[in-house]
Amino acid sequence: MKRSVAVLGAVLSTAMLAGCWDREYLKDLNLAYSVGFDLTKDKKIKETVELIIPPESEQSGTKNEIHSAVGPTTRGSSNELRARVRGNMRVLKNGVQVIGKDLALNGLKPPMDVNFRDPDNPSSNVRLIITDGEASEIIGQKEVGELKIGEFLIQKIESLEKMSLFYPPETMDTVFKALKDPGQDFALPYIGLEGKEIVAKGVALFHDQYFTGELNIEDSIMLVLLKGRSGDNARLTKKIDDGPLRGNISFNVGKKKVKRTFKVMVGKNGEVHVQLNIKLKGLIEEYTGSHPLTEESLVRVNQELSDILTRQARDVVRSLQKANCDIFGVGRELIAYHNSLWKQKDWSKEYQEVQFHTDVQVSIINTGIIQ
Amino acid sequence: MNESSQHAFFSLEQNTKYIQKALFDTHDLKIKHHPYKDTQGALIYLESLVDPALIERNILAPMSFAEGKSLSELFTTLRMERSNDLEKGIQGLMQGSCLYVLDGDDEFYALTTPAKYERSITEPENEAIVRGPHNGFIENLTVNLHLVRQHIGTPDLTVRYHTVGNTVPRKVAMLYVQNLCDNELVQKVERRLSEISLDTVMSTGFIQELMEDNPFSIFPQHVNTERPDHTSAYLVDGHIALILEGDPTALIVPACFFTFYQTPDDYNNRWMIASFIRFIRLISFITAFQLPAIYIATVSFHSNVLPIQLFFTVQGSLTRVPYPPIVEAMILELIFELLREAGLRLPSRVGQTIGIVGGLVIGDAIVKAGLVSYTMTIVVALTAISSFLIPSNEMSSSLRILRFPLMIAAALFGYIGIAFGLTLLFVHLCKLESFGKPYFYPIAPLKFQGLKDTFSRFPVWNIRKKAQGNDN
């Protein structure tokens, strides 16, 4: 009897207490909210984290600490970091990863590997940002106004996404998908430090895993529109240089859905043609010209703006091709519909030879309260 | 029950002696010598069971103006019997009758003069409703039957008396509506009632426990109510009600899980409001026993599901607590159960003090002392409130107990533990039967028609069958 009770107890506790391995009490966690990675001169990885110190009571606010460490790999420098910070450093609510330009030029796959390999690392809601300098400098700002650096970066990126600077949101997950796909590249938010201010500089273009080029802010918005997407707003300001209508015009094309035609066609000799047309519907928000925007003059304005934007779009496509960044997924279309052709091609070379036929049409549907 | 009989004696003295002996000389047995004409006679009664006014008016007064009439003509009580079986007479005494025994006569008169001290028909306190009839059952079976018959005025309403208890027999009335109730069910209930072989049946709880399909289940398998309108509604729905003499509770069988979430108010309100309230109530089903478990699992295994702002708030309130969340939860649940039980037993004037001591003093001080966290207090308070939302007291108690195993499962395995715990629970619910009817109907077996009156309440014209309609 005594024996069977002991055996039962042993079996039950083995079965039941097995779950306690995975237990990780909330109160023991030290959260790294934002992380930055840089490449040092001796090709090592420098990791900078913003660690949130648990508040002393539920009413008091949190504080943050910045730590950095150098190691041979990402995880290696994390281990190094753990020796420096207090308690159990965890990244499970990590919201943003900043990557220095040098590291991005050297490829994202090696430093990102641990994020995808270890399921404890979050990936679905982690924004990736490229900085033109050192990530440690950005994180090292520690606080921007009232906000801690991690919060600030996330808020900034989210508001810029609403302004169609980067859209749809690129997170670790979407980047992983693009990294694994030979027919699809990606672009990431590109920021920099000007004095003490963190400013958005546009997007960083990637080919495969390498940082290959950049676009400025206006071109970034155009890129988003060319993808057929837009955030809540997409504001453009253009100068019209046409007789009586002369003046600066600010309009928002993000309020209405972007109509996009995207066709990949293959010519007789295997050359690839891409037809990329977008139709934008704009709301005028500001116009400095003196001529009233009547029905007739709006036709002129539409014509003028379509011309300007088409030119800009073609510039953007040229920059994309120069950076070898197949962000529209032309390669993916080829894999799907022209597979035999795709197999013959060395895409990273031949992408630049793709013929893009880009056209933008703008129609103003609203001039605001006044004409 | 003593089935023997004893023929009455011719001598008055022998008869009184026999009765005195049979009742062990109990002091409330009164023997009042009262001659009739010239014959010696005695009026025998138990003073605790008879109404003195009735004796005065219907027996003694007429006898004093006898003027040659026979006794049978004289007595004006509601019922009068002549009998020669003393044992039967003693039975009558126990039910509040008077015996009039004459010397030299081996037959005596049994006259019904029972005293009735009854509570008024007030609304049951724990089943108060906003709108609708405000009467309730009392401790008298006849009155209770009267109340039900007032609601269901058809000859179809059938009452069957049964007697339970061997040494102290008590009457149980079984009520059903003849054409609406399944015949098989009636037989099943009758059989189970007749198989009760207990010395005494103190309350409906005894009957309930003896008749249940699965006494080891945590879920109640009888609905109990003190409301005649509620009872009638069930009867018309084809259920059977059992009412015990001297008990204001009606037991209703068969019960299914969702009947415990329905109140008469659901049908007194308009359907949209009723649906909304019912929906809230079913949410309370989830929060009443899962909320502490989910909280424990979250803070000990899955803190990454918390939004970042909440993450720090919860973390901040947890940092000062030295125990793991499960211990914290147990402490608070224990305190809550203590307060609840204390509040239940105390008279209402002192009860308020408990509210203040419990709610303010303990609630605030315990957090300041660092024994439990604010968030845990919120969770347990929410759970407590949700458990009071359930109309049935029995179901609410069941769910309160259920949350403890679920909390332990959550502390051991996190969300997976909860998932397994719930799986087991629902397997049990699907398997459970109440008098042969599936307990988790209309979910298992799934019946869409039944769902209309489960999670929401569709308009009455949609859920009630029409006059010619056959069985649902």
Distance from the A61 Cα atom to the nearest Cα atom in chain B, whole angstroms: 8
Q: Decide: A103 and A45 in contact? Cβ < 8 Å.
A: yes
- Output the pLDDT for position B263: 86
State the burial class of residue B207 (Cβ atoms within 10 Å of its Cβ: 0-12, 13-18, 19+). buried
**pLDDT > 70: percent of chain A:** 100
Contact A54 B321 (CB under 8 A): no
Mean pLDDT within B374-385: 91
Helix (H, G, I), strand (E, B) or coil at B250: strand
| A31 vs B contacts (CB less than 8 Å) | 311
Residue pLDDT, tens place only, A118-177: 888 888 889 999 999 999 999 999 998 888 999 999 999 999 999 999 888 999 999 999
* DSSP string for B67-105: TT--HHHH--SS-EEEE-BHHHHHHHHHTTEEEEEETT-
Residue B292 has phi, psi (to 5 degrees) of -60, -40
Residue pLDDT, tens place only, A257-293: 999 999 999 988 888 999 999 999 999 999 998 888 8
Sorted by where each begins, the domain ranges of chain B are 12-112, 125-255, 266-450
| A27 vs B contacts (CB less than 8 Å) | 299, 315, 318-319, 321
DSSP code for A57: S
Give the mean pLDDT of chain B.
88
* pLDDT-derived band at B369, boundaries 50, 70, 90: confident
- Output the pLDDT for position B132: 86
CA distance B8 to B105: 9
Mean pLDDT within A207-217: 92
Distance from the A13 Cα atom to the nearest Cα atom in chain B, whole angstroms: 10
Is the minimum CB–CB distance between A12 and chain B shorter than 8 Å? Answer: no
A329-336 long-range contacts (CB < 8 A, ≥24 apart) are A329/A183, A329/A184, A330/A183, A330/A264, A330/A272, A330/A274, A330/A354, A331/A182, A331/A183, A331/A184, A332/A181, A332/A183, A332/A184, A333/A183, A333/A264, A334/A183, A334/A264, A334/A266, A334/A272, A335/A182, A335/A183
Query: In this model, does residue A330 exceed pLDDT 80?
Result: yes
Domains, chain A, with CATH or none: 24-215 (no CATH), 221-371 (3.30.300.210)
Q: Pairing mode, if any, of strands A88-90 and A96-100?
A: unpaired
User: Which is more confidently placed, B40 or B1?
Assistant: B40
Query: In this model, does residue A329 exceed pLDDT 80?
Result: yes
Best interface-test mutation with B: which of A14, A22, A26 has the largest number of B CBs within 10 A?
A26
| B303 vs A contacts (CB less than 8 Å) | 24, 26, 29, 92
Query: In this model, does residue A235 exceed pLDDT 70?
Result: yes
Mean pLDDT within B291-309: 91
Of the candidates A25, A58, A122, the beta carbon closest to that of B300 is on: A25
Is the minimum CB–CB distance between A94 and chain B shorter than 8 Å? Answer: no
Highest mean pLDDT among B66-80, B94-108, B417-431: B417-431
Among chain B residues, the shortest Cα distance to A121 is held by: B304
| A30 vs B contacts (CB less than 8 Å) | none
Query: In this model, does residue B468 exceed pLDDT 80?
Result: no
CA A294, A298, A304 angle in degrees (round to 5)?
150
State the burial class of residue B214 (Cβ atoms within 10 Å of its Cβ: 0-12, 13-18, 19+). middle
Mean pLDDT within A320-346: 92
Mean pLDDT within B316-341: 89
Among chain A residues, the shortest Cα distance to B305 is held by: A93
Query: In this model, does residue B467 exceed pLDDT 60?
Result: no
Query: In this model, does residue A247 exceed pLDDT 70?
Result: yes
Reference B377, options B297, B281, B292; nearest CA is: B292
- Least confident range of A87-91, A94-98, B132-136: A87-91
Contact A54 B312 (CB under 8 A): yes
Is the minimum CB–CB distance between A169 and chain B shorter than 8 Å? Answer: no
Distance from the B315 Cα atom to the nearest Cα atom in chain A, whole angstroms: 5
- Output the pLDDT for position B472: 42
Q: Pairing mode, if any, of strands A355-366 and A272-287?
A: parallel
SS (H, E, C) B393-439: HHHHHHHHHHHHHHHHHHHHHCHHHHHHHHHHHHHHHHHCEECCEEC
Q: Decide: A167 and A157 in contact? Cβ < 8 Å.
A: no
Mean pLDDT within B67-84: 81
State the burial class of residue A310 (Cβ atoms within 10 Å of its Cβ: 0-12, 13-18, 19+). middle
Mean pLDDT within A325-335: 93
Of the candidates B315, B321, B325, the beta carbon closest to that of A54 is on: B315
- Output the pLDDT for position B465: 62
CA distance A77 to A342: 40
Is the minimum CB–CB distance between A147 and chain B shorter than 8 Å? Answer: no
What does the block give as tokens for A57?
């009571």
Q: Which residues of B390-418 are buried (b: 16+ CB within 10 A; e: fewer)?
A: bbbebbbebbbebbebbbbbbbbbbbbbb
* pLDDT-derived band at B469, boundaries 50, 70, 90: very low
| A55 vs B contacts (CB less than 8 Å) | 312-313, 315-316, 319
CA distance B164 to A240: 100
What does the block give as tokens for B471?
């069985």
Contact A29 B298 (CB under 8 A): no
Reference B441, options B260, B192, B186; nearest CA is: B260
Number of H helices, E strands in chain B: 20, 12
Of the candidates A20, A57, A93, the beta carbon closest to that of B308 is on: A93
Residue pLDDT, tens place only, B39-59: 888 999 999 999 988 888 888
Residue B37 has phi, psi (to 5 degrees) of 50, -115
| B320 vs A contacts (CB less than 8 Å) | 56-57
Q: Decide: B91 and B194 in contact? Cβ < 8 Å.
A: no
Give the mean pLDDT of chain A.
90
CA distance B293 to B289: 8
CA distance A355 to A266: 10
State the burial class of residue B81 (Cβ atoms within 10 Å of its Cβ: 0-12, 13-18, 19+). middle
Give B344's contacts (C-beta < 8 A, 6+ positions apart): none
User: Which is more confidently placed, B1 or B207?
Assistant: B207
Q: Give strand pairing partners of A250.
A: A237, A286
CA distance B430 to B441: 8
Query: In this model, does residue A100 exceed pLDDT 90?
Result: yes
Mean pLDDT within B453-472: 69
Contact A56 B319 (CB under 8 A): yes
| A62 vs B contacts (CB less than 8 Å) | 312, 316
